[in-house]
Amino acid sequence: MSIVKSKILDQLTDNYPNFLRKDLEKALNLVLDEIARALSKQQNVEIRGFGTFKIKKQRARIGRNPKDGSRIEIPAKNTIQWKMSKQLFKLLNNESNNNK
């Protein structure tokens, strides 16, 4: 099961009933837009207690078309590398050890 933005918004609405849903949605969109903006400017994003997003450059390479086996050139591109914080790592591992 995965969590989508609408579920996060539902949880925020439940936890903060004094705020209007549209205001919480604006705040959530603002946070996500700022993360995307910083990454598009090649800046790292660190959210303490959660993790760090970094830009990783993949070099150009030669690949193969799976349909016919012909060689194709795959251009260089930027991808996102995410590393979880130690706090999140401990939380995930403690929960998985307790569930066994």
Q: b/e map of 26-63 (b: 16 or more CB within 10 Å)?
A: eeeeeeeeeeeeebeeeeebeeeeebebbbeeeeeeee
- The domains of the chain are located at 1-42, 44-100
Q: Is a pLDDT exceeding 80 seen at residue 4?
A: yes
pLDDT (average), residues 39-53: 95
**Model pTM score:** 0.75
For the 44-100 domain, the top CATH level (class) is few secondary structures
Query: Is the pLDDT at 100 greater than 70, yes or no?
Result: no
Distance CA 74, CA 13 (A): 44
pLDDT for 96 beyond 80: no
pLDDT at 1 > cutoff 70:
no
For residue 2, what pLDDT is reported? Answer: 86
